[in-house]
């Protein structure tokens, strides 16, 4: 398929609010003083466009990528800086009107080959000049034309993703999110068998409590949690035959059966809780019950019949909708058609499975158009798409490979990139690799068909195969226990040994020997460290109060214990209270001239085309423009430029900021130079004069004694995220009087 046509079709690619944000790659270079602002730009999770294994992140601005930061230790550390603009890679400028994410992903693929020796050469605009930054990546090889099948690079990617999850897993088996263990179980490598087992035993011990009577506990998004738990435990039991988890299978199946709504789907929570049917979690619950029945759990036939009848309503009528609604158009959304394809295949309905799989495969350009997060499109799309004709599945895999390449982190995990809905500010999502890796990595496990959802034949795995895998798993686990004991990690060794003994049951001398080598005093210390560590980790928004911070630091000081090392790793990533240099008070900003609501603006309105040449500069003649005191209303549609003059007796030495009220897609100029680009403004609270956006340090050099000009260019758009605010602005400077008094 023609790649340029594909890019043009993909309206879902983050063009809505961001595409109009600045110069094209082929136009004039941005001002060296330009600062980009988005109201959610620096949120820890929501808006980070990860730049693949470089370790950097940013967001898209037209046909460029704006860098917002890097991990402290990563290939791009020290090479890329905030506000750098990536405009090309490996000697090629990103074409105008292209999607720079796809261009960068293709360059990463090219650079990871042996021929390129891992060298990714980025063309970066910094302070108005184009320069090169060479980021050295690990050599991974080239994708085969049949990726992820018969592809050594795909196998390396799968190994790295599983290793990332294994390293992040807690000793007790917790893996943060409920789909992560699926990838560990899907790996063909015996070294991850212990991780899959501990995850299963943790799920089996963390069951839903019961209220009085027959209704299960209803707090939280329970259907999501227990649906994926039952899905994983069913796959685990069918793969391993581990009887330890059978009671949990029965209890979770009963819980989900009780939770089903009359229509045949499920809501966010049980018992039938939430605002109605939510088919993404409802289909997961249905899939889990189908697999639980394969695992020998009795599931009421009426429960499965209701779900089958409900979801069959959408066959050949469009895509599966959000809830108990009419079918949605003809495009996949949030992976529900792919899920339906997988389930209909398990139920012996191959033609119905093919129909839904074709919808999933041919909707690849709409995968990012999803509510809350597009994660389930990327998780289930390639998995359920395998039931479509081979050429359709191949088209899907080839057209989405760039997304997985850019979602791959330097640590080996995967993220789900922000969707247009996230960028609009309507919804949030979590995109840390510990949340998304298990889901995003399933496409790389397709060739091994170790799970029912990945194409394994029905029923239990053959007993001879199970025995062979169990012995290989036991040898790998024993070796890992010995290594952990040698490193002083008694806690992890104890949990690994306990899980292995529950499966093997028979007494083995080597296991008894290992049990004697574990020091009980260290286990007691680990419990104490865990009690100090956990409250800080669970703090909402990763923000700590003083007590939690002190507890976390105590845990970090407890030597070579597991939770001590974890605390030392996590502490630098937390948002902690920062002391102010202003004697405990935040910085005070003073108006440089006038203030909000006092500036007299010259106003110009027009529909299309560029801003009048020189209109933001000092010498421009705007005498014929109408005048208005701010704030100035912004009409819907078209563009508006407001231009105001002010005088400065002396140029401040400290930081300068703009205090601003404006709609989205607004650029601020100081004496003709662009200084602030506002993508999506923060709502101004009652009694607040506006957003205060510090300017680039070089912007202070634009100020001059005497007359200056401040101009605000609103380019239009933003109506889709709410009513447009009026426009007003002034410059402010930091009052350092109190700081000087403190210093004296």
pLDDT tens-digit series, residues 335-378: 999 999 999 999 999 999 999 999 999 999 989 888 888 899 99
Q: Are residues 299 and 425 in the same domain?
A: yes
Among candidate residues 486, 491, 490, 498, the one with its CA nearest the CA of residue 530: 491
SS3 71: coil
Q: Are residues 553 and 655 in the same domain?
A: no
Structure tokens at 251: 């209890």
Environment class of 648 (CB within 10 Å of its CB; exposed 0-12, middle 13-18, buried 19+): middle
Asked if residue 321 is part of any domain, the answer here is yes
What was the pLDDT predicted at 442?
A: 97
User: What distance lies between CA 120 and its chain's CA centroid?
Assistant: 23
Environment class of 458 (CB within 10 Å of its CB; exposed 0-12, middle 13-18, buried 19+): exposed
The predicted model gives 445-459 an average pLDDT of 95
For residue 11, name the pLDDT band (cuts at 50, 70, 90): very low
For residue 30, name the pLDDT band (cuts at 50, 70, 90): low
Q: Are residues 125 and 172 in the same domain?
A: no
The predicted model gives 195-218 an average pLDDT of 72
Choice between 545 and 635, residue whose per-residue pLDDT is larger = 635
Structure tokens at 704: 């001059």
Residues, the chain, total? 744
The predicted model gives 606-616 an average pLDDT of 91
Domain boundary among 412, 433, 461: 461
- Tokens 């009087």 belong to which residue? 737
Q: Are residues 75 and 85 in the same domain?
A: yes
Tell me the C-alpha distance between 695 and 715, whole Å: 21
Residues 6+ apart with CB under 8 A from 92: 103, 107
Work out how many domains the chain is built from and give that number.
5
Identify the weakest region by mean pLDDT among 256-265, 535-544, 657-666, 669-678. Answer: 535-544
What was the pLDDT predicted at 694?
A: 84
Identify the weakest region by mean pLDDT among 49-53, 207-211, 304-308, 609-613. Answer: 207-211
- The answer to whether the beta carbons of residues 216 and 270 sit under 8 Å apart is yes
Q: CATH code at 254?
A: 1.50.10.20
Q: Which of 369-378, 494-503, 533-542 has the highest mean pLDDT?
A: 494-503
What was the pLDDT predicted at 428?
A: 58
Q: Are residues 453 and 539 in the same domain?
A: no
Buried b or exposed e, range 570-601, using 16+ CB within 10 angstroms: bbeebeeeeeeebeeeebebeebbbbbeebeb
For residue 532, name the pLDDT band (cuts at 50, 70, 90): confident
Asked if residue 143 is part of any domain, the answer here is no
What was the pLDDT predicted at 738?
A: 44
SS3 content of the chain, % helix, strand, coil (to 5): 40, 15, 40
**DSSP assignment, residue 46?**
T
Tell me the C-alpha distance between 335 and 380, whole Å: 5
Q: CATH code at 662?
A: 2.60.120.260
What was the pLDDT predicted at 410?
A: 95
> What is the residue-averaged pLDDT of the chain?
84
Tell me the C-alpha distance between 516 and 518, whole Å: 6
Q: Are residues 205 and 234 in the same domain?
A: yes
Asked if residue 146 is part of any domain, the answer here is no
Q: Are residues 285 and 378 in the same domain?
A: yes
Asked if residue 354 is part of any domain, the answer here is yes
- Looking only at the bridges linking them, the beta strands covering 691-694 and 673-680 are unpaired
- The answer to whether the beta carbons of residues 724 and 632 sit under 8 Å apart is no
Please calculate the CA angle 198-200-203 and round it to the nearest 5 degrees.
Answer: 110
Residues facing residue 572 across a β-bridge: none
The predicted model gives 375-382 an average pLDDT of 94
Q: Are residues 292 and 412 in the same domain?
A: yes
What was the pLDDT predicted at 686?
A: 66
What was the pLDDT predicted at 211?
A: 45
Asked if residue 8 is part of any domain, the answer here is yes
Structure tokens at 222: 């329970």
Environment class of 217 (CB within 10 Å of its CB; exposed 0-12, middle 13-18, buried 19+): middle
Q: Are residues 490 and 624 in the same domain?
A: no
What was the pLDDT predicted at 229?
A: 95
Question: What is the percent of the chain with per-residue pLDDT over 70, rounded to a whole number?
Answer: 84
pLDDT at 96 over 80: yes
What was the pLDDT predicted at 43?
A: 43
Identify the weakest region by mean pLDDT among 30-44, 285-299, 319-333. Answer: 30-44
What are the CA-CA distances from residue 145 to residues 108, 361, 397 (Å)? 17, 18, 10
What was the pLDDT predicted at 348?
A: 95
Domain boundary among 461, 486, 508: 461
**Omega of the bond prior to 271 within 30 degrees of 0, cis?**
yes
What was the pLDDT predicted at 44?
A: 41
pLDDT at 515 over 60: yes
Edge-first strand order for the sheet with 706-714 is 35-38, 673-680, 666-670, 706-714, 639-648, 600-606, 627-629
**Omega of the bond prior to 631 within 30 degrees of 0, cis?**
yes
pLDDT at 719 over 80: no
Environment class of 498 (CB within 10 Å of its CB; exposed 0-12, middle 13-18, buried 19+): middle
Domain boundary among 111, 136, 161: 136
The predicted model gives 570-598 an average pLDDT of 62
pLDDT at 740 over 80: no
Structure tokens at 589: 């900003």
pLDDT at 63 over 60: yes
Question: What is the percent of the chain with per-residue pLDDT over 90, rounded to a whole number?
Answer: 55
Q: Are residues 183 and 310 in the same domain?
A: yes
Identify the weakest region by mean pLDDT among 44-48, 689-693, 740-744. Answer: 740-744
Domain holding 501, by residue range, is 462-518
Asked if residue 484 is part of any domain, the answer here is yes
pLDDT at 284 over 80: yes
Asked if residue 76 is part of any domain, the answer here is yes
What was the pLDDT predicted at 440?
A: 95
Hey, what's the torsion of the CAs at 461, 462, 465, 470, to 10 degrees?
A: 60
Environment class of 646 (CB within 10 Å of its CB; exposed 0-12, middle 13-18, buried 19+): middle
Tell me the C-alpha distance between 14 and 26, whole Å: 19
Q: Are residues 470 and 394 in the same domain?
A: no
What was the pLDDT predicted at 634?
A: 85
pLDDT at 744 over 70: no
Nearest-Å Rg of the Cα atoms of the chain is 29
The predicted model gives 276-287 an average pLDDT of 93
Asked if residue 93 is part of any domain, the answer here is yes
pLDDT tens-digit series, residues 665-716: 899 999 999 998 887 777 776 667 788 888 887 788 899 999 999 999 998 7
Q: CATH code at 127?
A: 2.30.42.10
Structure tokens at 627: 């005048």
Q: How many CB atoms lie within 10 A of CB 231?
A: 26
What was the pLDDT predicted at 693?
A: 86
Say what the pTM is. Answer: 0.77
Q: Are residues 560 and 592 in the same domain?
A: no
For residue 8, name the pLDDT band (cuts at 50, 70, 90): very low
């Amino acid at each position: 398929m023609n790649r340029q046509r594909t890019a043009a079709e993909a309206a879902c690619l983050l063009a809505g609010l961001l595409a109009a944000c600045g110069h094209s790659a082929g136009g004039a270079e941005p001002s060296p003083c330009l600062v980009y602002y988005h109201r959610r730009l620096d949120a820890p999770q929501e808006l980070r466009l990860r730049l693949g294994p470089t370790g950097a992140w940013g967001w898209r601005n037209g046909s460029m990528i704006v860098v917002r930061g890097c991990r402290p230790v990563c290939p791009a550390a020290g090479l890329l800086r905030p506000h750098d603009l990536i405009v090309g890679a490996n000697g090629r400028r990103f074409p105008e009107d292209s999607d720079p994410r796809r261009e960068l992903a293709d360059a990463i693929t090219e650079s990871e080959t042996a021929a390129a020796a891992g060298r990714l050469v980025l063309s970066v605009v910094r302070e108005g000049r184009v320069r090169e930054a060479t980021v050295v990546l690990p050599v991974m090889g080239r994708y085969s034309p049949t990726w992820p099948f018969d592809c050594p690079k795909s196998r390396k990617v799968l190994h790295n993703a599983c290793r990332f999850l294994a390293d992040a897993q807690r000793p007790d088996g917790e893996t943060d999110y409920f789909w992560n263990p699926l990838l560990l179980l899907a790996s063909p490598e015996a070294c991850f068998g212990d991780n899959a087992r501990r995850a299963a035993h943790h799920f089996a011990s963390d069951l839903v409590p019961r209220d009085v009577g027959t209704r299960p506990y209803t707090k939280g998004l329970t259907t999501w949690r227990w649906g994926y738990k039952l899905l994983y435990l069913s796959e685990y039991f069918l793969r391993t035959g581990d009887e330890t988890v059978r009671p949990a299978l029965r209890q979770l199946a009963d819980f989900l059966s009780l939770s089903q709504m009359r229509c045949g789907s499920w809501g966010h929570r049980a018992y039938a809780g939430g605002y109605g049917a939510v088919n993404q979690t409802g289909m997961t619950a249905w899939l889990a019950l189908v697999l639980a029945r394969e695992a020998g759990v009795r599931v009421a036939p009426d429960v499965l019949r209701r779900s089958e009848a409900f979801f069959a309503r959408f066959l050949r009528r469009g895509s599966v909708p959000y809830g108990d609604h009419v079918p949605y158009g003809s495009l996949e959304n949030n992976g529900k058609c792919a899920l339906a394809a997988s389930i209909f295949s398990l139920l012996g309905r191959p033609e119905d499975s093919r129909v839904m799989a074709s919808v999933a495969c041919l909707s690849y350009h709409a995968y990012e158009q999803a509510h809350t997060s597009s994660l389930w499109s990327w998780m289930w799309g390639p998995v359920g798409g395998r039931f479509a004709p081979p050429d359709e599945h191949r088209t899907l895999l080839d057209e989405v490979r760039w997304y997985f390449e850019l979602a791959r982190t330097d640590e080996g995990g995967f993220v789900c990139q922000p969707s247009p809905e996230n960028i609009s500010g309507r919804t949030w999502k979590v995109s840390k690799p510990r949340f998304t890796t298990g889901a995003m990595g399933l496409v790389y496990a397709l060739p091994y068909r170790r799970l029912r959802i990945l194409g394994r034949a029905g029923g239990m795995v053959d007993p001879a195969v199970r025995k062979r895998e169990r012995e290989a798993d036991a040898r790998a686990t024993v070796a890992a226990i010995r290594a952990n004991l040698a490193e002083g990690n008694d806690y992890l060794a104890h949990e690994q040994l306990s899980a292995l003994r529950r499966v093997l049951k028979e007494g083995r001398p080597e296991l008894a020997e290992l049990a004697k080598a574990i020091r009980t005093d260290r286990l007691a210390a680990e419990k104490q460290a865990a009690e100090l560590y956990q409250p800080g980790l669970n703090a909402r928004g990763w923000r700590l109060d003083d007590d939690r911070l002190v507890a976390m630091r105590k845990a970090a000081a407890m030597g070579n214990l597991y939770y001590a090392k974890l605390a030392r790793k996590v502490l630098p990533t937390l948002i902690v209270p920062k002391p102010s240099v202003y004697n405990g008070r935040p910085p005070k900003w003073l108006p440089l001239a006038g203030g909000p609501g006092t500036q007299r603006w010259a106003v110009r309105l027009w529909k299309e085309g560029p801003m009048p040449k020189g209109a933001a500069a000092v010498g421009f003649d705007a005498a014929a423009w109408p005048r208005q005191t701010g704030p100035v209303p912004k009409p819907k549609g078209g563009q508006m430029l407001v231009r105001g003059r002010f005088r400065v007796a002396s140029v401040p030495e400290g930081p300068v900021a703009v205090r601003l009220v404006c709609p989205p897609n607004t650029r601020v100029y100081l004496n003709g130079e662009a200084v602030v680009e506002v993508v999506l403004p923060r709502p101004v609270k009652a009694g607040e004069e506006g957003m205060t956006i510090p300017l680039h340090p070089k912007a202070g050099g634009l100020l001059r004694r005497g007359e200056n000009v401040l101009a605000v260019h609103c380019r239009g758009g933003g109506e889709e995220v709410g009513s447009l605010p009026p426009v007003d602005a002034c410059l402010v400077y930091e009052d350092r009087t109190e700081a000087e008094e403190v210093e004296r």
